[in-house]
Structure 1
Amino acid sequence: MRAFVITAPGRAAVQEVPEPQAAPGVVVVEVERAGVCGTDSEFYSGGMAYLASGDAAYPIRIGHEWSGRVVEVGDGVDEAWLGRRVTGDTMLGCRACHRCATGRQHLCADRYEIGIRHGWPGALAERLPVPATALVPLPDTVDATLGALVEPGGSALRSVTGAAVSDGARVLVIGAGTIGLLVALIARAHGAQVHVLGRSQRSRDFAAGLGLEHVTTVETLDRTTPFDAVVDASNDAGSPALAARLVEPGGRVVLVGISDTPSRIDTRDLLLQDVTAVGVLSASGGLQGTVDLYASGRVDPRPLVAATVGLDEVADVLADGRPAGAGAGPKVHVDPRL
């Protein structure tokens, strides 16, 4: 089958690779859509932290935001999965340690991460092996595009949950990329008054076009009233400290973005204001809730997808090339069948 393979920083190609086999407990999914995200770009540039730590190595097959259809099941897997449309968890724990046993497989020290960690192949390929335990079924109302937005949506939903958003709460989202916009849309669906701080004019215009009423810059941000919760979904090293300064005493700061360099917070801004800080690593635990939100129509993130390309165009996208005719959204999807 065809798969997109990164062989070194800045070097990648579509290659013919062996088709995955349905090992015991594993299914094979025919991929319909896969999202390209910042982690994928870091693997392409060589800046991804797992490359330095030894948790990942070239060659690597990326892609962890996906949807597709189960076409083969291994021994021990319920055959009812055959033909079902699915997405799934990126984090694949060992299922034997204390963390896995207590529902925290995304923190398992020995975990695989699809398309990211310890060599588990990713979804930028025609077919993908996935443990049946990681599958999340998709209803007919959640199409392939929405299905491939469940994984980033799960991280956003966990961020909104971590922010303890309630009806009427003032929530500031720092960052108007895919995750930040998903946080904003989900928080709005939970009844919050959402403010989005965007870096570029283009991202701010796009956020406003989604019907988000309070879109701002650092300079124009209304700081007269602290925010009940602040979610940092940016990659700016200074944003966590800014979040801690802007949150209401007793409020919550959620950190879902990550910078290339260390970010520093004066802990006095947390301690002396009794602020709760929450870190969000992955979508684990938020996938089914995201499917339900999309299926209900309360959140429709499809406008975030600017273009859908084939495998042959992925290298250009990772090199920061925007496909011809792409819309204004921050996300590019891949259809391996093209």
Structure 2
Amino acid sequence: MRAFVLTGPREFGVQDVPAPVARPGQVVVDIERVGVCGTDVEFFTGEMHYLHTGQAAYPMLLGHEWCGTVSSVGAGVDPSWLGRRTTGDTMLGCGECYRCRSGRHHVCGRRHEIGIRGGWRGALAEQLLVPAVALHALPDAVDVVAGALVEPGGNALRAVRGAALSPGMRVLVLGPGTIGLLAALFARAAGAQVHLMGRSERSLGFARTLGFAGVWPGDGLPALAWDAVIDASNAPALPARAVDLVEPGRRVVFVGLAGTPSTVDTRLLALKDVTAVGILGGSAGLAGAIEQYAAGAVDPRPLVAATVGLERAGEVLGGWRPRDEVSAAPKIHVDPRI
């Protein structure tokens, strides 16, 4: 099969590689759409932490935001999966340890992460091997664009759940990238009054087209009472600002990751009686994201600026984006079939 192979920092090519074969408990999915995210870019540049700790190594097949159709199943897999449209969990726990047995497979110490950790090949290819237990069926109401946004949607939905919002609460989302915008959409669907803060006028301009209560540059943020603050940015200084901004007795949620350590004054956390919540992965939010997409409560599709073929994946990882004003959305998709 054809696959985008990353052989080193900024070293890549589309290669013919062996097609996957479904072993017991596994399926092969014909990939129809893949999202490119910031984690993929960090592998492309060589900055990703896992590369420096031995949890990942080149060569790599990236891609963990995906959807497709099951084309073959291994022994012990329900044959009704054949021909079904699906997406799946990125986090593949060992299934045996205490964390997995207590419902926390996404933090299993021996986990694989599709296209990220432990050598499990990702979806920037014509086919993907997936354990059947990781699959989530897609209803007809969720098309390929939304289907490949389920994984980031799961992250964003978990962040919103972590904020413990009630209808009418005012939430501030830091960072109008894909996760931040999805979190804002889920929060609005939950009845919250949603504001976003960012840096780039291009990204802020796009966020304004989605009709949120307020979209602000960092130096123009109004002095409002924030019932929750969700940090979906990659800025090292913003976790501390989130704690400073949030109302006492409320919650801050950290779903973004900076390239360098962030400093948060835990004295302020305690003195304000703030609950801090960390989010890793979308596992527990995937089913909910699919449900809300299918019901029309959240439509993630406007977040996709363009879809390109596999041969252009390297350009996208290197920073290519459409430059016309109608394509300021943050996400680029890849269709490995073209």
Query: TM-score interval w.r.t. the shorter chain?
Result: over 0.9
Give the match for residue 17 of structure 1.
17
Cα contact 1:37–1:331 (8 A) shared by 2 = yes
Shift of residue 299, structure 1, vs aligned partner: 0.4
Partners of 1:258 and 1:16 in 2: CA distance? 34
Q: Any idea what the Cα deviations from partners look like across 1:135-168, whole Å, max 9, x if unmatched?
A: 0000000001100000000000000000001100
Give the match for residue 322 of structure 1.
321
Cα contact 1:270–1:276 (8 A) shared by 2 = yes
Give the % identical residues: 62
Give the match for residue 53 of structure 1.
53
For residue 285 of structure 1, give the secondary structure of its aligned residue in structure 2: helix
Q: Any idea what the Cα deviations from partners look like across 1:44-101, whole Å, max 9, x if unmatched?
A: 0000000000000000000000000000000010001000000000000000001000
Partners of 2:18 and 2:76 in 1: CA distance? 23
Q: Any idea what the Cα deviations from partners look like across 1:257-309, whole Å, max 9, x if unmatched?
A: 00000000011111001100000000010000000000000100101000000
Give the match for residue 306 of structure 2.
307
Partners of 2:291 and 2:216 in 1: CA distance? 30
Cα contact 1:171–1:229 (8 A) shared by 2 = yes
Give the match for residue 256 of structure 1.
255
Partners of 1:6 and 1:214 in 2: CA distance? 40
**Matches for 1:58-137 after TM superposition, within 5 Å:** 58-137=58-137
**Matches for 1:208-219 after TM superposition, within 5 Å:** 208-219=208-219
Shift of residue 213, structure 1, vs aligned partner: 2.7
Shift of residue 324, structure 1, vs aligned partner: 7.1
Q: In the superposition, relative to structure 1, how do residues 35 and 141 fare at CA in structure 2: closer, same or farther (>3 Å)?
A: same
Corresponding letter in the other structure for 2:288: G
Which stretches in structure 2 are left out of the alignment for 5+ residues? none
Partners of 2:164 and 2:206 in 1: CA distance? 26
Corresponding letter in the other structure for 1:30: D
Give the match for residue 225 of structure 2.
226
For residue 194 of structure 1, give the secondary structure of its aligned residue in structure 2: strand
Cα contact 2:322–2:328 (8 A) shared by 1 = no
RMSD: 0.9
Task: Tell me if 1:178 matches 2:178.
Answer: yes
Partners of 2:212 and 2:227 in 1: CA distance? 18
Which stretches in structure 1 are left out of the alignment for 5+ residues? none
Partners of 1:165 and 1:32 in 2: CA distance? 35
Which shifted more, 129-138 or 316-325?
Answer: 316-325
Corresponding letter in the other structure for 2:214: H
Provide TM-score, normalisation by structure 1. Answer: 0.99
Corresponding letter in the other structure for 1:180: G
Partners of 1:18 and 1:8 in 2: CA distance? 20
Provide TM-score, normalisation by structure 2. Answer: 0.99
How many residues were matched structurally? 337
Give the match for residue 271 of structure 1.
270
Partners of 1:211 and 1:68 in 2: CA distance? 31
Shift of residue 202, structure 1, vs aligned partner: 0.6
